[in-house]
Chain A
């Protein structure tokens, strides 16, 4: 859209007297962009370069004088440390489970909401609400109000049917964290997929129906291929946020019981163990993992972006 609407405006209205030279004009075009660009480079790229440098040092902030160059030793330690390796695996499990579960649930809800029915707007509002609870508050709600083995709502409801009274967080810690995140992220997926459903070609679907296609055939051969982009976009945006999740792990289990993911471990390594070099090496590894996801994510976004640009 932008590519075409903006191209003609490249011809700058030039005032009669004192025609500015080309270079000055280029800078005038760039000027509005520069503050944001300089700000972003300073605040996000410089710290990362510093992290990269620190990752090559043996540096515990409790012993600042013992700082020395360590080469790749921190990386070796990070990659062989069982806790850190476990946290890599936990991060993968947590991200994949939450993204997949909330995508499937979000798809089902989007399909339900795509039909017209009485109170659709209200149901949509009810479904969005979990996404709009402050993440720490949501984690506290699950920890104390729902999961608590003595007075939590889950065991309270189980009590009515004579069910067991499990201690949810100690028994299935990772699942407990995942369930609370699925509750928060399903609305996000639903919104994206609903937008996808509503952008379908309805004439094509009508034509298929006239030709005698069943609901399932329409879903399988028309709706699902159309939704592919939106599913990818939801999965990748969701992954970016959930890979970085700190709030739920910190609040629900404080990283205990095998739920410590990489962000939590990095936080703990420097905030509690004061191992600056190790934390930085782990941070760099998180970045490498993110770059792999991000490469796919950027490809999906740019393909949607080109499609949008090509449409008008």
Chain B
């Protein structure tokens, strides 16, 4: 009875883990099959492995190359994450270590913008971009992804900075250090793990973003998720290629997510859950 009570939940947990992971494992296996082995019923589990799907995806033998989209996504995600950190770090300082008056109101203002649906502001942004000649420009996307992630980052960083001992900061200030120096030399090193987790989560959200990218970029500034929408309608044999594409484009997110695993809950719950 006791053994049963211990073993059954463990078995169930393993079963659930495998069931949830199965679609990803199957996608990975299919990406290494030839197109004719990929689309069979019943499924061919033991078909010969090949890199053809990846060759097709990267356009080795002709076809659209995904590299511009991958580079655009990298630029948009890295640049917006950097901008988010530059804006959020001092703001979080002013909302936790040396709080301004009514700091909770400011904090909740940031959060409320996250609840404003993206579609509500999309049209004016589109019209503005069209007038200003910023359509299909990756830097517009950088600004919008920054606005999308800034509230999350302010909330996360606030909860991480709140853990920095005030005595350390006051000691540095008594030594005559100015605020930028204190932030860079004293606060940042102590809060480094939290800042890193914030950066990883912002990177993920920016890399994943579709709606802004779909409406505001087209050819030159196309991002990886927009590139993926090219696979929505199926034409001919392309299953292995879709799997390879989905997997390659998801790899940065999987890597960032697992790197931030320990702080993922705190980040996703905006610091409300530790």
Contact = CB atoms under 8 A, between A and B. Distances in A.
B13 A112 contact: yes
A162 B6 CA distance: 35
A137 B272 contact: no
Contacts of B123: 50-51, 54, 270, 276, 279-280, 283
Contacts of B229: 136, 250-251
Contacts of A187: 20
Nearest to B273: A195
Interface stretch (A93-101, A122-130, A170-178): A122-130
Interface in A83-141: 108-109, 112-113, 115, 117-120, 122-138, 140-141
A290 interface: yes
Given A39-B146, A195-B265, A186 B111 contact: no
A86 to B, nearest CB: 17
Contact of A137 (B40, B204, B249): B249
A43 B124 CA distance: 11
A126 B270 contact: no
A63 to B, nearest CB: 15
A304 B242 CA distance: 43
A223 interface: no
Q: How large is the interface on B (under 10, 10 to 19, 20 to 34, 35 or more residues)?
A: 35 or more
Interface residues of A, number: 118
B16 interface: yes
A98 to B, nearest CB: 16
B17 A51 contact: no
Contacts of A291: 115
A73 interface: no
Contacts of B211: 246-247, 263, 267
Interface in B69-118: 87-88, 90-91, 93-101, 104, 106, 108-118
B27 A120 contact: no
A44 B121 contact: yes
A286 B117 contact: yes
A78 interface: no
Nearest to B268: A188
Nearest to A306: B104
Nearest to B255: A132
B142 to A, nearest CB: 11
A287 B120 contact: yes
A105 B90 CA distance: 39
Contact of A135 (B27, B210, B254, B272): B210
A144 B162 contact: no
Interface in A1-20: 1-2, 5-6, 8-10, 13, 15
A235 interface: no
A30 B160 CA distance: 20
Contact of A141 (B88, B100, B246): B246
Contacts of B64: none
A71 to B, nearest CB: 19
A218 interface: no
Contacts of A214: none
A284 B90 contact: no
B18 A126 contact: yes
17 contacts: A6-B97, A13-B170, A29-B100, A30-B94, A33-B100, A36-B110, A39-B147, A44-B121, A50-B124, A108-B16, A113-B13, A117-B9, A128-B258, A134-B225, A134-B253, A145-B27, A284-B120
